[in-house]
A = this chain, B = another copy of it.
Amino acid sequence: MFIKIDFETEMPIYEQLKRQIIEGIAKGALKKGEQLPSVRQLAEDIGINLHTVNKAYNILKNEGFLTIDRRKGAMVSNLMPEITEQYLELLKEELKYLISNSYCRGMRKEGFLSICESIYDEIDDEKKF
């Protein structure tokens, strides 16, 4: 796997793991239906406790990114979660803060948008392979 955990940051390990898996799905490193390593396996690979991996997997299951198949363990869902009203609200809140902060620091609309665009393009690029 491509997981890199930063043990220094204050972001919980399970949250870092969760985010990297979502990013992995977005850029196609993890295909729909693809099987993920077992909690034990991944925990060992990363050097963390299996319960921590389990927590990340379970959150992702609850959010609809993963499904846990009794026979094969965790796998990427074939149907990704929707853009719910609730998600949109949360996204806007988060963006409002990021934009406000950047705005105060002098970044204008064009600069911010071009960063977003380049990230989107990055995802699309990796998608091709």
Give the number of times this chain occurs in the complex, counting copies: 4
Interface SS of A by simple majority: helix
Contact A22 B97, CB 8 Å, known A13-B70, A103-B120, A104-B80: yes
Evaluate contact between A102 and B91: CB separation under 8 angstroms: yes
The residue from B26, B100, B123 contacting A23, defined by CB atoms under 8 A apart:
B100
Proximity string of chain A (13-39) to chain B, C-beta cutoff 8 Å, 1 when within and 0 when not: 100000100110111000000000000
- Of all chain B residues, the one with the shortest Cβ separation from A66 is B8
Q: Interface on A for B, CB 8 Å cutoff?
A: 7-8, 12-13, 19, 22-23, 25-27, 48, 62, 65, 67-71, 80-83, 87, 91-92, 94-107, 109, 112-113, 115-117, 119-120, 123
